[in-house]
Chain A
Amino acid sequence: MDSNKVDMFILSNGKFFESNQLMYIREQLLAMDDSKWSLVQTIQFKDPTTSIIVSILAGTLGIDRFMIGDTGLGIGKLLTCGGIGIWALVDLFLIMGATREKNFTKFQQFLY
């Protein structure tokens, strides 16, 4: 694919991924066929900032985990008052990374 398009994608979607994943994503996009560009643009990613806000406001209820698609863990948090409060606190630090991982998995699923 055209490197201009790839750079545009990285610029607008960079915040959805870990910095170490960006190089891999760039390489994959460069090797990709040009016809897939319109499809690549339509992928919806979850915003890590939104998940940290949800985690602060409703982390005890597990809503943050439900939001990024970890339904099982969400139920675990919901049934245990956010893991007796400890899990909810730990997740404040983990949820942004988890969201980026989910986005990366989604991107990879799209590739294959």
Chain B
Amino acid sequence: MGLSRKHLYILVLLSCAVGNSWLIMHLHSSWVNVVGPVCLLKKATGIPCPSCGATRSMIALIHGDFLKAILWNPMGLLLFGGLIIFPFWLMHDLTLKKNSFHVFYATVEKTITQKHVAWPLIVLILLNWCWNIYKGV
């Protein structure tokens, strides 16, 4: 068992706040080129990481272009879902003093470390990475 409930909730709320502000900032096209690529791997080596292009994917999704979102990076859909659902889930937990999110986190962590789940996921991420490098995101 890793994180305590308090630490997990603070971390996820903070991440969602940063993620949503990041997304809103990038919705205005004037901001897009101000910060530039933030990925340390891409900055250091020029090779995109498996999740590079996720912001552009989420922006495409907000504009309603589902196909473009998948073509940029399928991980964007996953992140977008998390950014929308997690804050509401956490608020629900905090107001009703429940720990359903903590239980969910522990279950996911336990499931994902099993070999028959972990290997397909690793292969998927590696394939996505190869695709990212091929696309030159």
- Please report A residues at the B interface, Cβ cutoff 8 Å: 59-61, 69-73, 75-76, 78-86, 88-89
Contact = CB atoms under 8 A, between A and B. Distances in A.
Contacts of B22: 84
B2 A81 contact: no
Contacts, number: 63
A71 B93 CA distance: 23
Interface string B38-82: 111101000001111010000000000000000000010011000
Question: Which 3 A-B residue pairings sit nearest by Cβ, starting from the closest?
Answer: A85-B38, A81-B39, A60-B41
A81 B54 contact: yes
B51 A84 contact: no
Interface residues of B, number: 26
Contact of B79 (A61, A71, A80, A82): A80
B70 to A, nearest CB: 16
Please report whether the interface of chain A is mostly helix, strand, loop or mixed according to DSSP.
Answer: helix
Interface of B: 2-3, 11, 15, 18-19, 22, 38-41, 43, 49-52, 54, 75, 78-79, 105, 108-109, 112-113, 125
A79 B79 contact: yes
Contacts of B125: 78
Contacts of B38: 81, 84-85
Contacts of B3: 70, 72-73
B131 to A, nearest CB: 15
B49 A61 contact: yes
28 contacts: A60-B39, A60-B40, A60-B41, A60-B49, A61-B49, A61-B50, A71-B2, A71-B113, A72-B3, A72-B109, A73-B3, A75-B112, A76-B15, A78-B125, A79-B51, A79-B78, A79-B79, A80-B51, A80-B54, A81-B49, A81-B52, A83-B18, A84-B38, A85-B38, A85-B39, A85-B40, A85-B43, A89-B40
